[in-house]
Amino acid sequence: MIKVITSIARIGLLAALLAGCSLPLVSEREIALQADEQFAKMREETLVSNDIGIRRYVICVADAIIATLEPPYSELDWDVEIFDDEAINAFAMPGGKIGVFTGILAVTENQDQLGAVIGHEVAHVTLQHSVERANRTLTTQVGAAAAGAALGGGAAGDLVNIGAQLGILLPYGRGQESEADVIGLAYMADAGFDPRQSVQLWKNMAEKNKGAPPEFLSTHPSSNTRIEDLVAQLPTSLVRYNSAKTAGRDPRCSR
């Protein structure tokens, strides 16, 4: 019994140390390094689109979104790749990597809807959702497991590595999705993309979802609530959109 209490106390102590530590276990930079490797690997293993029209179109939309960012994210060397794959998916990773699958271009009807997708993904990066998720998981799961072993030698380094990988692999939580929706909407509006199109995008997604669920949806739960939340944000984002237009931000991205 005492032994059990002792190990629970040790786990508790470690978890408290991990949670209370002002420095996160895994930093954004460490996840970015892993993301860099992962992105390079994807480029080698997945067919990239050589369609110049599509490449120019996606990069045009991504550049307009990136142009709305503030430091340190505006200073990243953003890298955009288009993967020739039917998956209805897109992602952005710490360090400034954006991946768009050609499958999502079949669901996004215009530059504004693609702007909504990329704005949402970029928001996950600037809100540091991967870092948040990796550190939370490390603290609760890996932290507890590691409590059994003495944290000596390379153990800390191993944790950082596991955490950095988790940062890329873990799906986002529902709360993070809502946050990314709100900030993503601001990015698209600031870039001069019509925020009303975000509502249409999610309707298109829901329509696609009637058959096999698209991948973008499986990690990005869509619901009427989500659409209602976006509609509620529209008055604010329309003000931003109109300011962007007045300031001359008027992207003309086409295939």
Please, what is the angle between helix 111-126 and helix 174-191, to 10°?
A: 130
Question: Where are any strands of DSSP class E within the chain?
Answer: 79-83, 90-93, 97-101
> What's the min distance (Å) between Cβ of 180 and Zn ion?
5
Nearer to Zn ion by C-beta: 123 or 147? 123
Is the Cβ of residue 18 or residue 122 nearer to Zn ion in the bound state? 122
The footprint of Zn ion on residues 168-227 (CB under 5 A) is 177, 180, 220
Q: 121, 132, 177, 215: which is the annotated catalytic residue?
A: 121
d(CA 128, CA 27): 10
240 binds Zn ion (CB under 5 A): no
CB of 172 to Zn ion, least distance (A): 5
For Zn ion, which is the closer residue by CB, 164 or 180? 180
Length of the chain: 255
Instruction: Give the x/- contact pattern for Zn ion in 133-172, rule: CB under 5 A.
Output: ----------------------------------------
Is 121 catalytic? The answer is: yes
- In the three-class reduction of DSSP (H, G, I as helix; E, B as strand; rest coil), residue 82 is classed as strand
Site for Zn ion in 49-68 (CB under 5 A): none
Helix (H, G, I), strand (E, B) or coil at 100: strand
Hey, which bits of 148-240 come out as E strands?
Answer: none
Residue 34, token pair as written in the block: 């892993």
What span, in angstroms and rounded, lies between the C-alpha atoms of 56 and 183?
Answer: 25
What amino acid positions are annotated as catalytic residues? Answer: 121
Q: Which residues bind Zn ion (CB under 5 A)?
A: 177, 180, 220
